[in-house]
Amino acid sequence: TNETGFRVERAAGLNASQGFVEIAAVGADVTSYVDAGLPNGASYSYRVRAYNAAGNSAYSNIVSGTTPPAPPE
């Protein structure tokens, strides 16, 4: 309830536990984020943490997913 915003981080691969890089910072009360422009058939893991003037929260749980495969030609 006192966040300034959220930092979204991504790592390559399913169930990644290392190699996260911040890809976005969104405002307070934001509940979704679209990571557009990724290649077809690629797998990524994500984690999020809140931030405010006092610093950063703990990280969220890690979630993973794979982009859809390329359409048949």
| Per-residue pLDDT, 38 | 96
User: How many of the other CB atoms lie within 10 Å of CB of 32?
Assistant: 5
**DSSP tag of 57:** -
| Per-residue pLDDT, 73 | 84
Listed as ranges, residues in the chain with pLDDT below 70 are none
Beta strands in the chain (DSSP E): 5-12, 21-27, 43-52, 55-56, 63-66
| Per-residue pLDDT, 14 | 94
